[in-house]
Amino acid sequence: MSAQLDYPQLPLPVSPADCHARARERSLIFDVESLLLDPTPGICESLQCALQDLGGHLPDHAFRHWSLRTPLREALAILMHGSDSQQLDKATAAFSRHYEQHGRFRSRLRPGALPLLKNLALNGRFDLHYLTHIGAQAAARLLDLHGLGEFVRSVFTAEVPACPGMRPHLMQQLVACSGRPPSRWVLLSDHPYEILAAQDLHLRSIALGYGRAPLPALLQLDPNAIAANLPDVAAQLDAMLPSQRPIPVAYCGSRIN
């Protein structure tokens, strides 16, 4: 399944460490926030702050039935009991400001995330490329905050934060600059438009079924595989690239329904 995507014109991204060196069997493209981090604490805090900016208040039980996969504007409408469009616009802007400045850095590592990343880096079959739209400073801060920098081969982003829609364009640039054929790349993502872009670029993709995108939406995209959790990521990569050195898994979380 493929789609025509309009790539925006963007400033050149921050150059990754030499993509031509240490060629391995596969190069993995992933977003630290999608693959390894649970953003729930930062999102809840930013939702709270957005409503407080408008004079509102959320009780402690407000998030009891809230889902990470609920679209932002819909979540705000639920929490604000169906406020008018203008109030929702203000709340959305307030949420975005707080999340970019603070909430993003309240995220926590998913159980087993650090062992998975370490094992991928040491396995010998993979180069790890962190691709994001949040800009060089925020990307470096996230890596430092969670102790992930030593395992990542390159960080590919724009110098300053940009819209998420730039990500397919960045992916295209990363693959082009590497000199490696598309068959050597694998995308790990929960972003539907990234998975579609990977298909247009003839890259393999593993959809992250534990992320923000609903599982039915990911199934419709027909990725090469879907990982239900972090152990599944390792299992799908081993199935895609068999080896005498399978990726160890330190955590066996529950599968999604």
Sign of the alpha-carbon dihedral angle for 106, 111, 113, 115: positive
**Helices 85-101 and 40-53, interaxial angle, to 10°?**
130
The pLDDT tens digits of the residues spanning 146-189 come to: 999 999 999 999 999 999 999 999 999 999 999 999 999 999 99
Question: pLDDT > 70: what percent of the chain?
Answer: 82
Whether pTM exceeds 0.75: yes
pLDDT score at 65:
59
Q: What is the CA radius of gyration of the chain?
A: 19
Amino acid type, 59: P
Domain 40-106 in the same topology as domain 26-38+108-240: no
Tokens of 27: 């190069």
Q: How far apart are CA 207 and CA 189, in angstroms?
A: 5
Q: How far apart are CA 123 and CA 37, in angstroms?
A: 21
Phi-psi region of 204 (alpha: psi -120 to 50; beta: other; left: phi over 0): beta
CATH architecture type of domain 40-106: Orthogonal Bundle (1.10)
The fold of the 26-38+108-240 domain, in CATH, is: Rossmann fold (3.40.50)
The pLDDT tens digits of the residues spanning 79-89 come to: 888 778 899 99
Domain residue spans in the chain? 26-38+108-240, 40-106
